[in-house]
Structure 1
Amino acid sequence: MAKLQSRWAHASEVTALAFVPDGSYIVATADDFALHLFSQKEGKPARQAEPIESTEGATCIAVTQENIYAGSRDGVIRQYDIKLQEFMGIIVRCNLAVRCLALSKNQKLLGIGTEENEIKIINLEDPEECFPLQGHKKAINAIAFDPLAEYMLSSSCDGTVIVWDMKTKKSAPLEIITVMAPTSTESKYKIPIAWHTSGEFFVIGRDKDITAHHRHTWQKSFTYRSGSSAAPTILAWSPNGRYLAAASIETDIWIWKYKEKEQPHIKHTHKTGVTDLTWSPSRNCLAFADAAGEVTYWEEVIEDGTPLKEPTPDPLKGLFDEPTARGNEIGAQETEGAQKDHDMGDLAQEYLSDNESLRDFIVDDENDPYLQKKASTGAQKSGALGMRVAKALHPRFQPGSTAERDKRRYLAFNLLGLITTVDHGNHATVSVEFHDKLTHRGYHFTDGSHYTMACLGMTGALFAAPERAETPSTVFFRTYDSWATKSEWQIFLPEGEDVTAIALNAESAIVSTSRGFVRIFSQSGIQTGLFSLGSVIAAVGKDDMVFFIYHQGEPFEGSQNLGYSIYNVETAQRIQHGLLPVLDDTIITWLGFSEGGIPAFYDDKGVMYILNYYRRVDQGQWTPILDTTAVQNTESDTNNVPHYWLVGLTDQTATFVKCRRGETEPSFPKPFVTELPLKVLTLHQDTPAGQHEEAWLRNKILSGLNKDEKIARSIESIDNSAAKRELEMDKLALQMIDLACRADRTQKALDLTAMLCSLKSIDNAMKIAQHHSLHTLMERMSRVKEIKVRRTRTALRSRLEKRKRIK
C-alpha cells in the first residue's frame, strides 16, 4: 500500500536530493550552509538528519558511496566525506555559479555545468586533469552521462540539448537538438534530460510532454504525455528502467510505465512545488524534495510491480580478454567499465515476454521527424584547446511542407495546389485543393495512417507515414483521374526501414528510406528501380528527372558538406552531381524545379539558386538568381524586412507567401501569394548600367538553359522564347553601349558589341558609335562583325555536313 512520509530537512527550499548508491543514505542540500544526511539503514528513513557543516550553500550535488560533491553559487566544487561527515577540500573553482553536476557510470568523471556556456569534465582521481566542452551559447541547465560510457547529454538556457562524444573526447558537439526558445538564467524552467538505464534512448522534457530520442540517430521517436499543461522540470528513471518519474514546474508528479506512453500510470499532486526527485536504489520508494524544505518518501510507490533489479554481470566476462594499453586520456578510465555497462542493453528485456523486445516500443511514431529544426552554430574556437565547434547536420525536410500549428499543417504547397492535414488524435483529415479548380477537382479523405509527408504532382498525389507502433512505414499514391479501376496503391516498407523523403515526376514515384535506399515505383505501384544514395535530406521530381540532396559527410568550416544528384529516371542515368554551395550557418528550406525544368533551391537567408548548364553532363553551376532580403519593404516598418516563404518558380518570377511578422511559415487560413521578379545578384544595381547588366546576364542564363533543354529533348522546331530572350539581350546591350559611349568608355563599348547576338544589332551599335563621333570604335566594331560573320558561316557549313553524313 503506497504511503507518503515527510521529513523536515532544511529551513529553506531544498535545492538537490540524491541517494547514496547502496541506498544507505539520502542527501538533501539547500542554501543554509549545511548538507543533511538521512540514514536509510533500518529500511525506513530516519526522522532526524545528520548534518555536515558547509561554508557555502549548495545548489547541486553528485554522490558516490564515499563522497558528496557539492556545487555552489560562488563557483566552487567542494568534497565531503560521508563516513566522516566532514568537509574534505575544494575540487575546482569556476568563474561563475555552478548550476548542475553529474557523475559518469564508473564515478570517475565529474561533469560540471555553470552559468558560463562551457562544460568542464574533471577526472576525480586527478582533478587537475580537465577538459572543456564548448557548444552552448548560454548557461548550462543539466548534464547526463550515457550508461554505456559513449556519450554525454547537456541542456542549456539557449534552448538546446547537445550530444557529446565521450569516446573521442572531441570538444565539438556531435548533435544539437533544438527544444525551445532561449530562456534567462533566472527562469524556473530548465530543460530536463535523462538516459534510460539501457542506454538505448534518452528523454527530454519539453513544453508539456516528454520526448524520447534514439541512440545514434538522435531523432525523436515517441512521446510520454502527461495530459497536463504544466512543463516537466525533473526526470528520473527507476533502477530497472521500467518506470519514468517526472515532476512539473508546478506541484505535479507523474510516473509512467515505460511502454504506456499516452498517459501516466500514477499521478500525485503535492502541496507545494517539487524541487527534485530520485528513486531509491534499494527499495520500492520514490523520494522528492519541495520548496518548503521537506523531503517526502513515497513508500511502495509501485503497487503492481517493482522499480528495482539491476543486471548481474557475468563474473567470467572479460577474464580471458587481452589487456589493452591505457593512454593518458580521461577516456581510458571511462572505457574501463564500458564492457560491463554494455550489458545494460538487456536491462528491461528481463521483464518482457519472449516475443517482446525493448526495441519494439522505440519506434518513430511522432509526426515529422524530418521537420525538427536544429540549432545553427557557426565555427567557433575553444580558447583552452583550440578545437573547432562543428555545426549540426542539416535536417531533413519535405519541400512545401510546414510544421504543425494548432493540430494543422501544410503537407504540400506548390504552384499546382496544396495539401493540408488536421490531426484529430486517433485519425487525421487530409484535404487536397487545386489553385485551378477547372483542371482538377479537390477532395478530402480520412487518414488513419497519420501521413507526415506528401507531394502534389501533375498526375497524382503521393503520401508517406513513418513507422508507428505495429504499423510499418507506409507509402500511398492517389491519382487524379484514371480510366482504370483500383488505380490507387499502397505499399509497406520492411520493418526497420522508414521513409525519409518522397517525390513525384511525370511517370514515377520516388521514395528514399532510412537504409539509404532509393526505391522507384511506376504510377501503378510497380517497383522499377532501386539504388543506394546514402542519407537523403530531400527529393523533388519534374518531367523525367529527380533531384536529390544528401549528406556527403560531417559539416566543416564554411560548408554544410551537402551533395546533390540529378537523375533521369527514364534512362537511369545521372545527369549532374556535385557539392551544394551551402554555408555552415545556412539551412535549405525549399527544393524544386522551375516550370521550365530548371533545378533550384532556396535557403533561410532568403537567397535562391538555380543550376545553370544542368543539361550539360557534370557542367552544372549554381547561380544566385534572387535575394529576397534586398526587396524593399513598402510597409511602415522599413527596418524589418518580412520573411518570404517560397511556393514555386517560373522562368521569370518566384511565387512567395509573405509571412506575418516574426513567422517563417504560412499560417491558416490559406494565405495570399505574391510574385517577385528574378534578379541575378550582380553589382551596382542602383545605377542604370548596373540594372542593364543584371537584366542582360539573367536573359543570357535563361536563354542558354532554354537552348540546352531543346537540345536534350531533340526539339528541332524554332524556339521562339530563346529568340525573344536574345532580342531582349541585344536591346539591353545596345543601351549599355550608348551609356559607355557617353562616358567615353570605348573598350567597354567594344566588349559589349562582341556580346551581341545578331549582325543587325552590331550594325545598330556602329550607328551609336557614329552618333557619338567615335570613328575608331566604329572600325573595331566592323572587325567584330566580320569575325562573327565568318564564325556563323563556319558553323552553318558544319551543320550541313553533319546532316549529310546522317543521311
Structure 2
Amino acid sequence: MATTTQIRVRGRPAHTSGPTHLSYTPDGTKLVTVGSNNLARVYKTGSDGEPTNIDDCQEDNLAVASTDTFFVTGSEDGVVSKYLFDTMSFDKFLMRCSLPVRDVAISPDGKWCAVASDELTIKIVQTNDVSSMMYLRDQPKPAKHLSFDPTSKFIAVSCTDGIVYVYSLDKDEPECVRKVNDLIRAVETESEISSQIAWHPDGRAFAAATATRDIQTVSIGDWGNQRTFSNGHNGDITALAWSPNGAMLASAGKDRKILLWETKTQKVLTSFDYANVMDIAWHPTRNIVSFTNADGEVYIYSNFVPDEHTPILKLGPQPAPFIHDPLLEVSNNARRPTTNGQKEIPSRARRGSPDSLDDILGSDIMGDDDDFVVDDDGAGYALGLNGNGKRPIDDPFGEPSKRQHAQAWEPQYHDPFQPGSTPWRGNRKYLCLNLIGFVWTVDQDTHNTVTVEFYDHEYHRDFHFTDTFLYDKACLNDNGALFSCPPNNGNPATIFYRPHETWTARADWRTQLPKGEEVLAISLSDSFVTVTTTANYVRIYTLFGVPYRVYRQKSSPSVTCASWRDYVLTLGNGPAGADGNTKLLYTIQNIKRDEICQNEDVVALPEGESVKSVFFSDNGDPCIYDTTGTLLTLLHWRTPSQATWVPLLDTKLLSRLASGRKTESYFPVAVADNKFHCIILKGGDQYPYFPRPLLSEFDFQIPLTSNPKPDSGDGDGVDEENEVSKLEGDFVLKSLLTMQHQDLIESTNATSAQRTALARMEVEIDKTLIQMLAVECREGEERGMRALEMVTLLRDRSGRMIEAAGKVAERYGRTVLGEKIREVGEERLLNGMDED
C-alpha cells in the first residue's frame, strides 16, 4: 500500500446531513451537488466564492446528472426534475415514479435521461420531449445504478439481484445484450455500498466493485474479466471513477480511504483519509477531484494527483487494462508482415472485420484521432501508423508526413487466424476445439497453464502442463497434440509436438523457427505437421519432427492452413478486387506425391465477407464456414481447375430461426457423419467461453428456399409446398454427396464397401425422384412435363426405377404420362443395347 498523503482539504457544508451527490458538467465549468434538503448548489470551477443556490427543488434528492446546459435530479418522492444553467432555475418535470428514484444518468449526447427507481422497470425519457420514452424490463428486481457508455450505444444497469444488465440502444427498442453474473454483489437500493458500473473512457471496458472489495474490469463484446485492482480497500467500496484519460482510477471505501490507482499496473499510487465518501467525480480537464460524503459535505480537491504522478494524468487517452488487448493483437496474437516486408500489428478494430471492436462499440469510439493508443511504454506500436492502423507503403520508416494523410486507399487484407481457436477473453482462451477434444490455456502472468481434455476418456487421458513458452495455437487429433508460440523474451517462435502414445521413452519434439519469423497458423494430420509463417513460408514436418518440405506460398500474406492425411490446404491473400479487399486464394496439394490439386484458386466469398474457419470433413473434403453463416464444401477438388464451392448449409435459414424471435450464431467445429457440428452462441457472443459449452449438430440443408412456412390448417397447400421443398433439397444434397463419394472412388484404390456404398447412394437419389414424381402426379395432368423430366433424371439403367415410375403414374390415373414414361424406358433400353 502506498503511503497516505498528509495534505488535507476542508469539506464545504453543502446540504444538511444525509446522502449527498455531485456531477461535473462535461465542459468542467460547473459542479452541481444535491442532498437531503430542497436545495441544489452550483459551484463555479476556479472560483472561491459562494455557489449559486437553486431553492425550488424537491426534498431528499438522491441523484444528479448534468450536461453543459442543464442538469437533472431524482428525489425520494419519485420526481425527476430538469433545471437550466442559464437561468439557474427549474425548467420542467421529466417524469414521476411511484417509488423513490435511486439514480439518474444522462447519455453523453444529452438526448436521453435514464431513471432507476424502486420500481422494476427502468425508464429512459427524451430530455427535450417527455412523451418519448423507452423501457428496460429484463431485470427482475429494482436497479441501484445506471451508466451510459461513452458512445450512448449501451447502458449498464446494476440490479439489486447482483447482476449487471447491459442493454443496446442502437434500435428503436432497447435490447438486453448481456447479463454479467458474478461481478457485483447484491445490495439494496438504499445501501451505501456501490455496485456502480464505471465505463472506461475508451469505451471498451467497464469496472465495478466486487464482493471481495476488489475492482474488476470487464471487456465489452466478449464480456471477459480483464485486469483486477486488488488488495486496496479493507472495507466495502462506496464510489469509483476513472480519470478523463483513463490512466487512473479513484475509489472510496468504508475503510475511510480514497485510493488513487494507476490503470496500467493496477497499483495504488497514493491514498487519502476521508470518511463516509458517497460520490466521486474527476474534473474533465484539470487536476481536480471532487467528492461528497454522508454528512452533506462536498470536497473540491485541487492538485489531487501528487506532483510525482501528474505526468500520468497528462498523457493522452490510455487503453483499458486488458490482460490481452485486442488493439495490440491480431487473430489470436498473430502478426503479419506488410507488403514491403516490415512488421505491423493491424487491428481488427481499425480494419472493420466482422468480429472487430467497431462492430461491438461503433467506429466513432476511436473518432478520427490517430493517436488513440499512446506509446507510453516505448513499445513502438503507435509510431508511424495512419488512420487505418498501417504504415503507408511509400514510407517504410513510418515517418509522419502530410503526404501520408493524403493516401486514402490501401488494400484490405484478410487477417490470419487459427481454425478452431478463440481470442483471449480475460485471461483464458481456447487454443483448439474439435470433435476429438479441446485445448485451453490460462494466463498466470508469469506463465500459462495448458489443459488438454478429450471427449472419449476410454481412448485418451486428459492432461495439463505448465507452459513457460506461452503457446497461443494448438491442434489436436487421435495421434497427438501440436502447439506453437510466438517469439518472446528473445527466444524465437517454437513448434512443439506431443504424441499421445509411443513405444519409446520420449517421442515429443520441439523445433524453433528462424529468428524474426512468426507462426501464423498450424495444422496436424495423420501424416504431417504444417506451419505457415510471416515469411510466407509453408513448413512441412513429419510427425516425429523431420523437416520434410519448405516452400514459399504464392498468395501472401498467408491466412491459415488445414490438412488431412497427405493433403494440405493453404489460404492466402491474392490481388485486390474492385472493392479494395484482397481476393482470398487457396491451394491444395498432396505432399507425399508432390502433386498440386488446385493452384491459387479463388475462395468463393460474397463481397466484404471472410472465412471464419476452414477444415477437412471426416471424409476428407475441404470445407469453409464464412461470416455469412454459410457452410460450403469443395466439389471435384482432386481434379485441377474443376473445383467448385458448394453450400451445404445456410444457418440463417435454419427452421429454429423461422419465428424470428431467436437470435443466435454458430461457432464452427467440424463436419462429420454428414452433419455440421458447432457450438450455439447466444446473447451476442461471437466465441464460446467457459465452462465448456456443449456441441450441437445440424443436418445439411442446401439453401434452395427460405425457412419452411407454417401450416395454417386451412388446406392452402403450405404443407405440400414444404414437402416439395424438402424433396428438392434432398435430391440436390444426395446428388452432391454422391459426386463427392464418386470422386473419392475414382482417385483412390476404392474398396468393395466403398463401391457398394456408391450404388446405394444412387438408389437413394432415384427413390427421392420417385417421391417427387408422386407429388407431381397428385397435382394434376398439367404438371406432366415436370414429372416426365424427373423420370429422365433417374440413374438406374436396369429399368426397375422406370417401371416404378410408370406404376406411380398409373396409380394416379395419368395415362398420357404413363405412355411417355414407357417411351423413355424403351429408349434407354435401346441405348443400352447399342452400348453393349
Task: Give TM class, smaller chain.
Answer: 0.5 to 0.7
Change (3 A) 1:567 1:295: farther
| 1:726 Cα deviation from its structure 2 partner | 0.8
What is the identity, as a one-letter code, of the residue corresponding to 2:64? Answer: T
C-alpha distance in 2 between matches for 1:397 and 1:685: 45
| 1:631 Cα deviation from its structure 2 partner | 7.6
The SS at the match of 2:265 is coil
1:707 aligns to 2:742 (yes or no)? yes
C-alpha distance in 1 between matches for 2:462 and 2:608: 37
Aligned position for 1:759: 797
After superposition, where does 1:672-691 map in structure 2 within 5 Å?
A: 678=700, 680=702
Does the CA contact (< 8 Å) of 1:27 and 1:35 recur in 2? yes
C-alpha distance in 2 between matches for 1:269 and 1:219: 34
Question: Which string of whole-angstrom CA distances, capped at 9 and with x for unpartnered residues, describes residues 153-209 of structure 1?
Answer: 76423866999xxxxxxx99xxx998765999x98755433447xxxx976325755
1:411 aligns to 2:412 (yes or no)? no
| 1:446 Cα deviation from its structure 2 partner | 1.3
TM-score normalised over the length of structure 2: 0.58
1:522 aligns to 2:540 (yes or no)? yes
After superposition, where does 1:337-348 map in structure 2 within 5 Å?
A: none
What is the identity, as a one-letter code, of the residue corresponding to 2:105? Answer: R
1:624 aligns to 2:662 (yes or no)? no
1:732 aligns to 2:768 (yes or no)? yes
Change (3 A) 1:443 1:641: same
The SS at the match of 1:520 is strand
After superposition, where does 1:57-96 map in structure 2 within 5 Å?
A: 59-62=64-67, 69-71=70-72, 76=82, 78-80=84-86, 87=88
Change (3 A) 1:643 1:486: closer
Change (3 A) 1:770 1:657: closer
1:750 aligns to 2:788 (yes or no)? yes
1:509 aligns to 2:530 (yes or no)? yes
Change (3 A) 1:675 1:250: farther
Change (3 A) 1:568 1:741: same
The SS at the match of 2:618 is coil
The SS at the match of 1:624 is strand
After superposition, where does 1:399-478 map in structure 2 within 5 Å?
A: 399-401=419-421, 410-421=430-441, 426-434=446-454, 443-457=463-477, 460-463=480-483, 476-478=495-497
| 1:266 Cα deviation from its structure 2 partner | 4.1
| 1:651 Cα deviation from its structure 2 partner | 4.2
Question: Which string of whole-angstrom CA distances, capped at 9 and with x for unpartnered residues, describes residues 558-616 of structure 1?
Answer: xxx99865432664823441225999xxx9986543212344466999x7733363636
TM-score normalised over the length of structure 1: 0.59
Aligned position for 2:296: 293
C-alpha distance in 2 between matches for 1:472 and 1:204: 35
Question: Which string of whole-angstrom CA distances, capped at 9 and with x for unpartnered residues, describes residues 236-294 of structure 1?
Answer: 3278x764434589987542234423x434466864453222269666x6432245533
Residue 14 of structure 2, aligned match among 9, 14, 18: 9
Change (3 A) 1:741 1:302: closer
1:596 aligns to 2:619 (yes or no)? yes
C-alpha distance in 1 between matches for 2:15 and 2:648: 66
1:780 aligns to 2:780 (yes or no)? no
For structure 1, the 5+ residue unaligned runs are 81-85, 103-109, 145-151, 164-170, 314-337, 361-392, 633-638, 798-807
C-alpha distance in 2 between matches for 1:493 and 1:680: 47
| 1:533 Cα deviation from its structure 2 partner | 6.2
C-alpha distance in 1 between matches for 2:774 and 2:34: 83
Aligned position for 2:106: 100
Aligned length: 652
Question: Which string of whole-angstrom CA distances, capped at 9 and with x for unpartnered residues, describes residues 285-317 of structure 1?
Answer: 64322455332456876568232698799xxxx
What is the identity, as a one-letter code, of the residue corresponding to 2:437? Answer: G
| 1:757 Cα deviation from its structure 2 partner | 0.8
| 1:704 Cα deviation from its structure 2 partner | 1.9
What is the identity, as a one-letter code, of the residue corresponding to 1:776? Answer: V
Cα RMSD (Å) of the superposition? 6.6
Change (3 A) 1:29 1:614: farther
After superposition, where does 1:228-247 map in structure 2 within 5 Å?
A: 234-237=240-243, 243-246=248-251
Does the CA contact (< 8 Å) of 2:112 and 2:126 recur in 1? no
What is the identity, as a one-letter code, of the residue corresponding to 2:268? Answer: P
What is the identity, as a one-letter code, of the residue corresponding to 2:496? Answer: F
C-alpha distance in 2 between matches for 1:121 and 1:534: 49
Change (3 A) 1:618 1:137: farther
Residue 310 of structure 2, aligned match among 304, 307, 318: 307
The SS at the match of 2:43 is strand
For structure 2, the 5+ residue unaligned runs are 75-79, 97-102, 116-121, 139-144, 158-164, 317-366, 384-412, 591-595, 709-718
The SS at the match of 1:759 is coil
Residue 255 of structure 1, aligned match among 254, 260, 273: 260
The SS at the match of 1:702 is helix
Question: Which string of whole-angstrom CA distances, capped at 9 and with x for unpartnered residues, describes residues 72-115 of structure 1?
Answer: 566757234xxxxx63998x99999972366xxxxxxx755533
Change (3 A) 1:608 1:77: same
C-alpha distance in 2 between matches for 1:190 and 1:61: 17
C-alpha distance in 2 between matches for 1:20 and 1:677: 55
Change (3 A) 1:258 1:423: closer
Does the CA contact (< 8 Å) of 2:810 and 2:818 recur in 1? no
| 1:59 Cα deviation from its structure 2 partner | 2.2
1:573 aligns to 2:578 (yes or no)? no
What is the identity, as a one-letter code, of the residue corresponding to 2:13? Answer: W
C-alpha distance in 2 between matches for 1:75 and 1:17: 15
| 1:774 Cα deviation from its structure 2 partner | 5.2
